[in-house]
Amino acid sequence: MKNYSFHIANIDCASCALKIETEMKKNKHYKDVRLNFAKLKLTFATDISSYDVLSYTQKIIQKIEPDVVLSINEKNTNRSYLFDFFRLILGILIYSFSFALEGTLHNLFVLASYFILLYKVGMKAIQLLPKFVLDENILLVISCFGAYFIDKKTEGILVITLYEIGKILENKAVNRTRKSIASLMDIAPITANIKIGGKIKSMTPYDIQIGNTVVVNLGEKVPVDGILISKKAQLDKSSLTGESKWIEVQKGEEVLSGSINMNQTIEIKATKEYKDSTISQILALVETASDKKTKAENFVEQCSKIYTPVVIVLACMIFLLLPSIFSITYTLSYYRALSFLVVACPCAIVISVPLSYFSGIGLASKNGILIKGSHYLDMARHINKIVFDKTGTITTGTFTITNIVSLNSYSKEKIYKLIYMGEQYSTHPIAKSILSYKKLNIKNEKITNIEEKAGAGISYVRENHKYKIGNNDFVQYHENSKNCIYLSEDEQVIGYIELKDTIKRDSKKAIQNLNQKGIMTYMYTGDDQKEAKKVAQKVGVKHFIYEMTPDAKYTQLEQLIHTSRKNQYVAFVGDGVNDAPGLALSDIGIAMGLKGSTLAIDSSDIVLMNDSLDKINRLITISKYTNRIILQNLIFAFAVKIVFLILSILGLTQMWMAVFADVGVTLLTILNTIKILKK
Q: Is 611 a catalytic residue?
A: no
- Mean of pLDDT values over 202-231: 90
**pLDDT band at residue 308 using 50, 70 and 90 as cut-offs:** low
Q: What letter represents residue 655's amino acid?
A: M
Residue 336 belongs to some domain of the structure: yes
* Among 390-404, 447-461, 479-493, the least confident range: 479-493
For helices 665-677 and 347-366, give the axis angle rounded to 10 degrees.
Answer: 10
Strand partners, 522: 387, 543
Last residue of a domain, one of 71, 89, 105: 71
Once rounded to an integer, what is the mean pLDDT over residues 221-229? 91
254 or 577, higher pLDDT: 254
Would the pLDDT of 71 be above 70? yes
Q: What is the pLDDT of residue 561?
A: 92
State mean pLDDT over 65-72. 80
Nearest to 225 by CA among 281, 157, 265, 163: 281
The reply to whether 519 and 603 lie within a common domain is: yes
Handedness of CA 179, 183, 187, 193 (dihedral sign): positive
Q: What is the mean pLDDT of the chain?
A: 84
CATH assignment of the domain containing 218: 2.70.150.10
Instruction: Give the pLDDT band (50/70/90) at residue 575.
Output: confident
Q: What is the pLDDT of residue 185?
A: 55
CA nearest 340: which of 569, 136, 500? 136
The stretch 294-307 carries a mean pLDDT of 66
Return the pLDDT at 95: 92
Q: Is residue 363 part of a domain?
A: no
pLDDT at position 377 = 92
Domain that holds residue 23: 2-71
Is residue 569 assigned to a domain? yes
- Rounded CA separation 465/226 (Å): 40
Contact present, 98 and 120 (Cβ < 8 Å)? no
The active-site residue out of 12, 225, 378, 389 is: 389
**Distance between CA atoms of 662 and 675, rounded to whole angstroms?**
21
Q: Is residue 352's pLDDT more than 50?
A: yes
Under the banding of pLDDT at 50, 70 and 90, the label for residue 11 is confident
Same domain as 152, residue 268:
no
Between CA 101 and CA 113, with CA 107 as vertex, the angle to 5 degrees is 95
- pLDDT score at 23: 82
Task: Answer yes or no: is pLDDT of 284 > 90.
Answer: no
Residue 407 and residue 392 in one domain: no
- For residue 638, the SS3 value is helix
SS3 for 179-227, per residue?
HHHHHHCCCCCCCEEEEECCEEEEECHHHCCCCCEEEECCCCECCCCEE
Q: 228 and 376: one domain?
A: no
- In 10 A of CB 606, how many CB atoms? 26
How much is the average pLDDT of 153-173? 80
The least confident of 30-34, 139-143, 667-671 is 139-143
pLDDT in tens, 187-204: 667 788 999 888 888 888
More confident residue, 179 or 648: 648
CATH of the domain at 495: 3.40.1110.10
412 and 534 share a domain? Answer: no
CA angle 555, 559, 561 (to 5 degrees): 115
Asked if the structure places residue 94 within a domain, the reply is: no
Kindly state the DSSP code that residue 435 receives in the 8-state scheme: H
Q: Are residues 429 and 523 in the same domain?
A: no
Residue 79 reports pLDDT greater than 60 = no
Per-residue pLDDT, averaged over 632-642, amounts to 89
**CATH at residue 548:** 3.40.50.1000
Task: Name the pLDDT band for 77 (thresholds 50, 70, 90).
Answer: very low
Q: Work out the percent of the chain whose per-residue pLDDT is above 70.
A: 87
* 189 vs 383, residue with greater confidence: 383
- Residue 322 and residue 177 share a domain: yes
Tell me the CA distances in angstroms from 381 to 287, 300, 378, 517, 623, one per residue in order. 22, 21, 6, 11, 5
52 and 34 assigned to the same domain: yes
DSSP secondary structure letter of residue 130: G
Q: Is there a single domain that holds both residue 520 and residue 601?
A: yes
Same domain flag for 392 and 516: yes
Tell me the mean pLDDT in the region 379-407.
90
Q: Is residue 171 part of a domain?
A: yes
In a domain, 364, yes or no: no
The pLDDT, as a whole number, for residue 544 is: 95
| Domains identified in the chain, total number | 5
Examine the domain organization and report whether 263 and 297 are in the same domain. Answer: no
Which whole number is the average pLDDT over 526-533? Answer: 84
pLDDT score at 134: 58
Residue 618, pLDDT > 90, answer: yes
Could you tell me what percentage of the chain is helix, strand and coil, using 3-state DSSP and rounding each to the nearest 5?
50, 20, 30
Q: Which residues contact 565 (CB under 8 A, 6 or more apart)?
A: 384
How are beta strands 213-216 and 266-270 bridged, if at all? antiparallel
Residue 396's closest CA among 589, 536, 575? 575
Range from 84-98, 350-364, 401-415, 544-558 carrying the lowest mean pLDDT: 350-364
Whole-number pLDDT of residue 239: 66
